[in-house]
Amino acid sequence: MGAKEIQIKLDFRSGLPIYVQIMDQIRQMVGSGELEQGDQLPTVRQLATDLRINWNTVARAYKLLDEAGLISTQQGRGTYIWESPPEAATLILRHEALEGLTRRYLAEVIRLGCSPEEVTVALEQQLDLWKAGDPPDETDQN
Amino acid sequence: MGAKEIQIKLDFRSGLPIYVQIMDQIRQMVGSGELEQGDQLPTVRQLATDLRINWNTVARAYKLLDEAGLISTQQGRGTYIWESPPEAATLILRHEALEGLTRRYLAEVIRLGCSPEEVTVALEQQLDLWKAGDPPDETDQN
DNA sequence: ATAACAATAAGACAATGAGACAATTACACA
DNA sequence: TGTGTAATTGTCTCATTGTCTTATTGTTAT
């Protein structure tokens, strides 16, 4: 019914487990406000067919997020974003989302064959631009 | 399931390592069009019993072909012929790709509302893991 | 001989898939 | 209003599949 349509992108070659990729991206959506408390997530079967994976893999991601307190999975009812206790929890959540993004970024970069030093240089370059007040390009070139 | 039945002939007296023979013949099948992108290869255990060898030897061949970009091995899912972008991957300079990934990473991070300092910390944390030899994997879901 | 190295094997392990199952909801019908 | 049946949804258990670490075997250089 009112399940929010969310967009999750999987990278089967990143080396990151699928369920971790799902967890990371849901955390990110909550952290950025794209998902709010009370929003219903797609059912495990729906999201699974969308992503062409087994729904048990989605179920695992949901279950772990549930145990982490981010969402509420209810057998027979569905899965919902859990009410977010203010401040402290959102800080933690944002931090987790940042970790997830970083993890994915590094996985992609490693696959590219870059060295840690190259990554450090590339990032500091653009970080400097950012600090100087020039926000990075927002265009998603996937 | 839909694993393509492929025919591989081993010559145990040729002096060529088994895993090299497997790699060569799969490469050849892809080159001749006998195997196309998306085709599922037999599992390491299936092909191994067919050839009467240890499945770790097949796994080795698959892993090397994966790193070479020819196939995609996915734990728990199987092994598939990977789309080979003959030009895209090689023409794009790694440096440009790195910059693009970094730009996208920072854009998403900004959407989360993180500060440059947070990003630096998060990245260096996982970079240290990387340098220490650990692949950037996650075991923190408590 | 023996040390060093590559190829292969063995086994534990993690990620994913498949199917039966239980809780909840929706709805027809009395 | 109540009830029974089917559909929906998450849970549980186990098999499948690739990964990793370590041991064994065979070859080669010293």
Task: Give the tens place of pLDDT for each residue, A112-132.
Answer: 878 888 899 999 999 988 887
Helix A18-32 and helix A55-67, axial crossing angle in degrees, nearest 10:
50
The nucleotide closest to A41 (CA, C1' atoms): D9
Instruction: Assign B75 a pLDDT band (cuts: 50, 70, 90).
Output: very high
Measured CA to C1', what is the nucleotide nearest B138?
C14
Instruction: Name the residue in chain B with its Cα closest to that of A60.
Output: B141
Rounded-to-integer distance, Cα A54 and Cα A37, Å:
26
Write the single-letter amino acid at A17: P
Tens of pLDDT, residues A33-76? 899 999 999 999 999 999 999 999 999 999 999 999 999 999 99
Question: Which residues in chain B touch residue A108, judged by CB atoms under 8 angstroms apart?
Answer: 101
Let me know whether B121 and B66 are in one domain.
no
**CATH number, residue A100:** 1.10.10.10
Whether residue B66 is contained in a domain is answered as: yes
Q: How many domains does chain B have?
A: 2
Across residues B124-130, what is the average pLDDT?
85
CA distance A119 to B34: 39
The answer as to whether B99 is a domain residue is yes
What's the pLDDT at B135? 46
**Mean pLDDT comparison of A41-55, A123-137, B73-87, B114-128, highest-scoring range:** A41-55
Is it the case that residue B141 has pLDDT exceeding 80?
no
**Residue at B136 is within a domain:** no
In the predicted model, is pLDDT for residue A88 greater than 80?
Answer: no
As separate numbers, helices (DSSP H) first and strands (DSSP E) second, chain A gives 5, 3
* Closest by Cβ to B122, choosing from A68, A99, A110: A99
- The SS3 call for residue B38 is coil
Q: What is the pLDDT of residue B92?
A: 63
By percentage, how much of chain B surpasses pLDDT 90?
Answer: 58
B76 touches strand C (CB under 7 A): yes
* CA dihedral over A62, A63, A69, A74, signed as positive or negative: positive
B73 closest-nt by C1' vs CA: D18
Instruction: Based on the fold, state whether residues B69 and B96 are members of the same structural domain.
Output: no
Residue A85: which pLDDT band, with cuts at 50, 70 and 90? low
Tell if B17 CB is < 7 Å from nucleic strand C.
yes
Query: Domain for residue B137, yes or no?
Result: no
Residues B77 and B22 in one domain: yes
Please state the rounded mean pLDDT for residues B45-54: 96
Look at the block and give the residue holding tokens 């450090």.
Answer: A120
Residues forming a β-bridge with A73: A79
What is the CB neighbour count within 10 angstroms for residue B15? 6
R_g (Cα) of chain B, nearest Å: 20
Please give the pLDDT value at position A115: 85
Report percent pLDDT > 90 for chain A: 61
Distance of B47 CA from D30 C1′ (whole Å): 40
Do residues B46 and B73 share a domain? yes
Q: Do B112 and A64 touch (CB under 8 A)?
A: no
Query: Does residue A7 fall inside a structural domain?
Result: no
Same domain, B100 and B71: no
Domain assignment of residue B58, yes or no: yes
Task: Name, in order, each residue with C-beta under 8 angstroms of B52's C-beta and a sequence gap of 6 or more.
Answer: none
- At B109 the three-state DSSP class reads helix
Q: Any residues with CB less than 8 A from the CB of B75 and at least 6 apart, and which?
A: A17
Residues paired with B28 in a beta bridge: none
One domain, residues B105 and B71: no
Domain limits for position A116: 18-131
In a domain, B1, yes or no: no
Q: Are residues B77 and B26 in the same domain?
A: yes
SS3 B62: helix
Worst-scoring range by mean pLDDT, A59-63, A124-128, B63-67, B132-136? B132-136
pLDDT top residue among B88 and B60: B60
A23 CA to chain B: closest CA distance, Å?
10
Contacts of B108 in chain A (CB under 8 A): 28, 101
Q: How many residues does chain B have?
A: 142
Nearest CA in chain B to A61: B141
Closest partner CB to A106 (pick from B72, B77, B130): B130
Token pair of A37, please? 């408390």
Q: Is residue A93 part of a domain?
A: yes
- Of the candidates A98, A103, A137, which has its C-beta nearest B136's C-beta? A103
Q: How many angstroms is C1' of C25 away from CA of A76?
A: 7
Asked if pLDDT for residue B63 goes beyond 70, the answer is yes
Banded pLDDT at B72 (limits 50, 70, 90): very high
* Residue B32 CB partners (closer than 8 Å, separation 6+): none
For residue B37, is pLDDT > 60?
Answer: yes
